[in-house]
Amino acid sequence: MVYRPLSAPRSASRPASARPAKSAFPHDFVWGAAAAAYQIEGAGKEGGRGPSIWDHFSQTPGNVFEDHNGNVACDHYHRWREDVRWMKRLGLDAYRLSVSWPRILPRGTGRANARGLAFYDRLIDALLEAGIQPWVTLYHWDLPLALQRRGGFQNRDLVEWFGDYAEVVVRRLGDRVRHWMTINEPPVIVGLGMQQGIFAPGQTLSFAHCLKAAHHLLLAHGRAVQAIRATCRLPAKISLAHTGRERIPASRSVKHREAARADTFRCTERNFDNLAWWADPMLLGRYPDDGLKAFAADLPRIRTGDMALISQPVDFLAYNCYSGFPIRAGAGGQPERVPGGWGVGNPRGTLSWLQVAPEAPYWAARFLHERYGLPVVFTENGVCTTDFVHLDGKVHDPQRIDFLSRYLGSIARARREGIPVEGYFYWSILDNFEWAQGYKDRFGLIHVDYATQKRTPKDSFTWYREVIRRRGVGL
Ligand code: FCB
């Protein structure tokens, strides 16, 4: 691999009369970074917050790497002013945060916690004052524990619980927040949390029960879209943050491309990584036929009106994109994984699933846009590397810079081909609590020393700041 730093703006080396360097990214392209409540806030028992399924799960020994938990995390609940200052220095157009449901409704339903709402109120004001647009996710995995005890996603009442919660949040913040994501990454919620039990709430339910939870999740999304539309005082832009592992055509030939496309939306495996199982109902108003056939024996009851609720119109396609693997057309054109994937030794993040696959965002944007017709925003992308404060007091992370350079180059390619990618959020602004991996894996543009809470911008922070300043020229 060739290290490709951000090249000098072409205009710099050309005579003054030459045309200025052109960016593949329009001026209003949204350059952002993201984080989520449980991963950074800490203050688990402060400000009237109730417990969530992640508190319970991470405080149960054996569930998380070295029994880490989010009790303190990055202490963002107390240090948000400093964190917003860093974001301003970075030059972000937008910051994607999530609101903690148990901070707003400590028992999941009922009376709102004024101190919880006040926290987000102040944060949103500070962001806007810093010239940063808040993009808000309503549910990034921290279900109030009280609701889990009432059946969680198994209980169809969840649809109304979530709708009511959405209304409370949007009533308070909807005079300043325009961009909303209802739910983050359904495959993780149901697949890792309820089928495999490796994330909270740590269940290993039958496939039929998981499908039921999935249906309730989609209904809850639809109900929240209604609540946002009815309550937001600004013209809302809404999505749900999807994710997947991208299928990348093994070569440029049409047959491999069509195999990769078919595999991207194939829905026959008994797991929750089937993107179309989530995205088709929302965006096309129906579950995919192959899934209905393959899962026939386990399907939940779908009531009249369900599909209409699930498919409330949304405005963009939020997508979290990290990795991918090569697909080729096998016998009879059937898609198959290229044996051996990218080959032995292909670069990875410190999380082994994070194989570096720079074409992933290009193919994600292309296949998603071609099927669903919406503009795409990458609401997460990033890499975890072994970052530490070096003897010179700095955090040198050239791998992250190289990763970003490649992935952003791939988004530039999509844009040059006319695919409407409208924004990019780096995951994450800060190192943080990486779920079942605890604090082992570091994704941040800013290094966090968890013992002192000292923030140190990494080299990638400076690099990304330059990307934003140049509005993507040179990528
Ligand atoms: C995504 C999650 C996010 C973070 C990154 C690495 O699946 O949405 O919270 O953990 O992975």
Q: Mention every residue, 6+ apart, whose C-beta is less than 8 A from residue 130.
A: 84, 85, 87, 88
Which of 138, 141, 237 is CA-nearest to residue 185?
141
pLDDT at residue number 152: 98
**pLDDT value of position 16:** 46
Contact 135, 32 (CB under 8 A): yes
Provide CB contacts within 8 A for 97, sequence distance 6+: 34, 35, 36, 37, 123, 134, 135, 136, 137
Catalytic residue among 167, 380, 422, 434: 380
Mean pLDDT by 10 residues, the chain (475 residues): 43 50 94 99 98 98 98 98 98 99 98 98 98 99 98 98 99 98 98 98 98 99 99 98 97 97 98 98 98 98 98 98 98 95 96 97 98 98 98 98 98 98 98 98 99 98 98 96
CA-36 nearest atom, ligand 1:
9
- Which atom of ligand 1 is nearest the CA belonging to 435? 10
Which among 435, 324, 322 is positioned nearest to 382, based on CA atoms? Answer: 322
Phi then psi for 458, rounded to 5 degrees?
-85, 170
133-139 vs 94-98, strand pairing mode: parallel
Q: Are 109 and 147 in contact (CB under 8 A)?
A: yes
Ligand 1 atom at shortest distance from the alpha carbon of 188: 7
Residue 14: predicted pLDDT: 44
Show contacts of 2-10: CB within 8 Å, 24+ apart. 3/398, 3/402, 4/402, 4/405, 4/406, 4/409, 5/401, 5/405, 5/463, 6/405, 6/463, 6/466, 6/467, 6/470, 6/474, 6/475, 7/474, 8/474, 9/470, 9/473, 9/474, 10/473, 10/474
Q: How far apart are CA 324 and CA 306, in angstroms?
A: 32
Calculate how far, in angstroms, residue 10's C-alpha sits from the geometric centre of ligand 1. Answer: 35
Report which protein residue has its CA nearest ligand 1's atom 4. Answer: 434
Length of the chain, in residues: 475
Distance from Cα 183 to the centre of ligand 1, integer Å: 13
Q: Are 343 and 387 in contact (CB under 8 A)?
A: no
Active-site residue identified among 185, 246, 422, 434: 185
Q: What are phi and psi of 380, to 5 degrees?
A: -155, 140
Residue type at position 205: L
Burial (0-12, 13-18, 19+ Cβ within 10 Å), 131: exposed
* Cβ proximity of 416 and 24 under 8 Å: yes
What is the per-residue pLDDT for 1? 33
Instruction: Look up residue 194 and give its two tokens.
Output: 């309820």
Q: Tokens 């890792």, residue?
A: 192
Among 380, 431, 439, 441, the mutation site with the greatest number of ligand 1 atoms within 8 A of its Cβ is 380
> Which residues make beta-bridge pairs with 424?
31, 378
Instruction: Show the tokens assigned to 180.
Output: 């909303």
Rg, Å, the chain Cα set = 22
User: What residues form DSSP beta bridges with 379?
Assistant: none
Distance 311 CA to ligand 1 centre (A): 25
Separation of alpha carbons 165 and 148, rounded Å: 15
Active site residue 380: yes
Catalytic residue flag (residue 185): yes
Residue-level pLDDT at 13:
43
**262 to 207, 249, 369, 375, 395: CA distances (angstroms):** 24, 11, 14, 21, 42
Report the Cα 276 to chain-centroid distance in Å: 17
Integer Cα distance of 25 and 271 in angstroms: 36
329 strand-pairing partners = 335
Pocket of ligand 1 (CB under 6 A): 36, 39, 184-185, 188, 320, 380, 427, 434-435, 443
